[in-house]
């Protein structure tokens, strides 16, 4: 499995601010969105281009535009929603599907509660969005879901990943390409990433 660490100085700086317990809800949301936008720049690097003819004020010329590739992003609810705006700021017309999963606090297993995907999802390349790849259970389940719908080309994008989550995705979905801004040290006994940033959903939505 290919793992891309998007370790640009701007991303590293913003991840540090995201981690800080001093960062409040508004700034956390803004930072998550900005980092997602910068990561979007990386995971779209292989988008195919095609040449079209245009006219500049000086002359006619051939120039490149993105070929009409069918893409979709699928945030895992709820924290994945915090990454959507950043992607939309670069690809405003991208389709957005939603998969609702929460992690059972005792078993740490993902529990599905919602799914709404574009009707032609099986024909699209899909980027799964979830700020935290901890045990990897949620991302793995979401990816399996998409595969069951016929999706063939999947990327998985996370702000922070734990080594355990990367291992899990590598075992379950070696064909998926992973993008993360940081790989942290480990998980603690409650399945939280260390040092991490705490509970991403609670920090984005201000629920704690």
Q: Is residue 80 at the binding interface for ligand URA, with CB under 6 A as the rule?
A: no
In whole angstroms, how close is the CB of 121 to ligand PRP at the nearest point? 19
Q: Is residue 137 at the binding interface for ligand PRP, with CB under 6 A as the rule?
A: yes
In whole angstroms, how close is the CB of 72 to ligand URA at the nearest point? 23
Is 103 labeled as catalytic in the residue annotation?
A: yes
- Residues 179 to 198 in contact with ligand URA, rule: CB under 6 A: 191-193, 196
Q: Which of 97, 170, 163, 159 is nearest to 127 (CA)?
A: 97
Is 44 labeled as catalytic in the residue annotation?
A: no
Q: What is the 3-state secondary structure (H, E, C) of the chain?
A: CCEEECCCHHHHHHHHHHHCCCCCHHHHHHHHHHHHHHHHHHHCCCCCEEEEEEECCCCEEEEEEECCCCEEEEEEECHHHHHHHHHHHHCCCCEECEEEEEECCCCCCEEEEEEECCCCHHHCEEEEECCEECCCHHHHHHHHHHHHCCCCCEEEEEEEECHHHHHHHHHHCCCCEEEEEEECCEECCCCCEECCCCCHHHHHHCCC
Q: Is residue 30 at the binding interface for ligand URA, with CB under 6 A as the rule?
A: no
In whole angstroms, how close is the CB of 134 to ligand PRP at the nearest point? 3
196 binds, among ligand PRP, ligand URA, none (CB under 5 to 8 A by kind): ligand URA
Q: Is residue 200 at the binding interface for ligand URA, with CB under 6 A as the rule?
A: yes
Q: Is residue 97 at the binding interface for ligand URA, with CB under 6 A as the rule?
A: no
Residues contributing to the site for ligand PRP (CB under 6 A) = 76, 78-79, 102-103, 108, 110, 130-139, 165, 191, 199-201
Catalytic residue set: 103, 107, 199, 202
Residues contributing to the site for ligand URA (CB under 6 A) = 79, 132, 134, 191-193, 196, 199-201
């Amino acid at each position: 499995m290919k793992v891309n660490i998007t370790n640009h100085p701007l991303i590293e700086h913003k991840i540090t601010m995201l981690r800080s317990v001093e960062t409040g809800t508004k700034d956390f949301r803004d930072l998550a969105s900005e980092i997602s936008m910068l990561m979007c720049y990386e995971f779209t690097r292989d988008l195919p281009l095609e040449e079209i003819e245009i006219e500049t004020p000086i002359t006619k010329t051939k120039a490149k535009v993105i070929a009409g590739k069918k893409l979709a992003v699928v945030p895992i609810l709820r924290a994945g929603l915090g990454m959507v705006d950043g992607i939309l700021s670069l690809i405003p017309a991208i389709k957005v599907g939603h998969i609702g999963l929460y992690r059972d606090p005792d078993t740490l297993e993902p529990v599905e509660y919602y799914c709404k995907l574009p009707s032609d999802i099986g024909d699209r390349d899909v980027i799964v969005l979830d700020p935290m790849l901890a045990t990897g259970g949620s991302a793995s389940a979401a990816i399996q879901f998409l595969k069951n719908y016929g999706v063939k080309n999947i990327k998985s994008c996370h702000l922070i990943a734990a080594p355990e989550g990367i291992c899990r995705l590598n075992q379950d979905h070696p064909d998926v390409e992973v993008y993360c801004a940081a790989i942290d040290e480990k998980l603690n006994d409650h399945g939280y990433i260390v040092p991490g940033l705490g509970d991403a959903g609670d920090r984005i939505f201000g629920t704690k």
